[in-house]
Amino acid sequence: MHDPLQPLHAGLDRIAEWEARWPVFETDPSLALSAETMTEALQALAVRLEDNYPFFHPLYAGQMLKPPLALARYAYTLTMGINPNNHALDGGPATARLETEAVAQLARMFGFDNHLGHLTSSGTIANLEALWIARELHPDMGIAASEDSHYTHGRMADVLRMPCTKVPTDDLGRMRLDSLEALLAGGQIGTVVVTAGTTSIGAVDPIDRILPLARAHGVRVHVDSAYGGFYRLLAEGDRPAIDPAPWQAIAECDSIVIDPHKHGLQPYGCGCVLFRDPTVGRFYQHDSPYTYFTSDELHLGEISLECSRAGAAAAALWTTLRALPLQAQSGFGAVLRQTRQAALDWAGRLADSDLFDLVVPPALDIVTFFPRLATKTASAVSDASDRIFAALEARPEQPVYLAKLQVRPSLLAARYPDLVWDQPTMTVLRSCLMKPEHRAYVPFLHEAVEQAARDVRDTVPA
């Protein structure tokens, strides 16, 4: 019988051989735990961990949560026993080089030939660093981001004590060019933050049209592709699976953030920031009297705001990219084609349904929709969405887990002019189809939401 853990055991055996090069020593009694003690503690943990949603299963189609690739987990586990710190080469020589190689692959995916970049513990920290560089380059100016951009930009702008102006979005959730142009004309913006895959609906700002507008005003462009970045692969080839223009324009932008712990199949704790101009490294310059002494090579801590960082995260990403290369038709591209098609398949079923309406056509793999009611008020739709959401989770067998989203009138008014906005926002249903296995489950998911809609329809006000 095949042992799925065999690759991990083989790797652990190899590490044990490495450890055996050094003299044997006795573990101090204060650290010696019996097998019984460890088993009991781990069993207790396993019980506590059961209080989780089944993120691993295609029935979970809610938030941006999924398990990392098994290979990534094994690589992380293998490296974690050594526990390298990628702050300096004397803390993690092997994993620091693995990080440099993996980050270079991400940079090439976006078209950055020359770059400065590194992994971070999260997309938030990665965006913090990008905005910090923006402030250092234009200390008297602010940033502009769409009103549907991630809230981290406003928070990090507060941390950095720099103004952040929100730009209105259109009925597809993308930054409005006319509003941006009027804002840039005021001369107070140093960097425009564009989003390649908003976390609400997966919208992609028109980067190809924003970039020349920003350049005309001498303004930098930062790309927050924390969620959607890996979809750059699907913009390649003669028959791209997504609109290639915004993605190809990223190569001319100034900085990028991408989160390998989302579509990159990595454990949490793996973000990345990239700069097209390596000379911004001058802003990171600092000295540490007890590090950076083992090598004249660049230490990652010399180009990072964070200090200690898990080398295991770099090892897991590097190993994943070795097995699943960043290619359009195979490797990661094959995975993303499944998730993209899952969203298109479900959107097609919803568009044909007499029970639901789409919020927007999916740009990536996020599908948003709401129940079609006789009473077309935002409050009635919100109530029905809440009921359907609860009914799906309460299914006695095979519960389905979705998410909810609050949308503003500007997103729906043009397509659904008969909606009455009796409250400021409306609750709709949202699904992130991040797992390639979701494609096979689309018929089941659709049948489940339609049945839930029928079940609650009699209790919704007519």
Q: Which of the four pLDDT bands, split at 50, 70 and 90, describes residue 292?
A: low
Tell me how far apart the alpha carbons of residues 459 and 461 are, in angstroms, rounded to a whole number.
6
Q: Which of the four pLDDT bands, split at 50, 70 and 90, describes residue 290?
A: low
Quote the tokens at residue 116: 């400065």
413-460 pLDDT, tens digit per residue, is: 999 999 999 999 999 999 999 999 999 999 999 999 999 999 988 665
pLDDT of residue 459: 66
H and E: helices and strands count for the chain: 14, 11
In this prediction the pTM is 0.94
Long-range Cβ contacts of 345-349 (<8 Å, 24+ apart): 345/439, 345/442, 346/431, 346/433, 346/442, 346/445, 346/446, 349/442, 349/443, 349/446
pLDDT of residue 199: 96
* Nearest by Cα to 306 from 126, 115, 102: 126
Mention every residue, 6+ apart, whose C-beta is less than 8 A from residue 399: 59, 392, 393
138-164 pLDDT, tens digit per residue, is: 999 999 999 999 999 999 999 999 999
Q: Which of the four pLDDT bands, split at 50, 70 and 90, describes residue 294?
A: low
130-144 pLDDT, tens digit per residue, is: 999 999 999 999 999
Which range among 171-185, 205-219, 298-312, 423-437 shows the weakest confidence by mean pLDDT? 298-312
Tell me how far apart the alpha carbons of residues 233 and 327 are, in angstroms, rounded to a whole number.
6
CA atoms within 13 A on the CB side of 358: 20
Let me know if 423 is exposed, middle or buried by CB neighbors in 10 A (0-12, 13-18, 19+).
Answer: exposed
Domains assigned to the chain: 79-323 (3.40.640.10), 332-457 (3.90.1150.170)
212-223 pLDDT, tens digit per residue, is: 999 999 999 999
Cα pseudo-dihedral 341, 347, 348, 353, rounded to 10 = 150
CA atoms within 13 A on the CB side of 338: 15
DSSP single-letter state for residue 72: H
Q: Inform me whether the pLDDT recorded for 462 exceeds 70.
A: no
b/e burial code for range 245-254 (CB count within 10 A of at least 16 → b): ebbbbbeebb
366-422 pLDDT, tens digit per residue, is: 999 999 999 999 999 999 999 999 999 999 989 999 999 999 999 999 999 999 999
* Nearest by Cα to 449 from 334, 372, 366: 372
**Secondary structure string (H, E, C) spanning 303-323:** HCCCCCCEHHHHHHHHHHHHH
* Nearest by Cα to 298 from 275, 319, 281: 281
CA 27 vs. chain centroid, Å, equals 41
pLDDT of residue 87: 87
Q: Inform me whether the pLDDT recorded for 240 exceeds 80.
A: yes
DSSP single-letter state for residue 155: H
pLDDT of residue 230: 98
Q: How many CB atoms lie within 10 A of CB 428?
A: 26
Cα pseudo-dihedral 161, 167, 169, 174, rounded to 10 = -70
DSSP single-letter state for residue 421: -
pLDDT of residue 89: 85
pLDDT of residue 451: 96
Look over the chain and give the mean of its residue pLDDT values, rounded to a whole number: 94
pLDDT of residue 211: 98
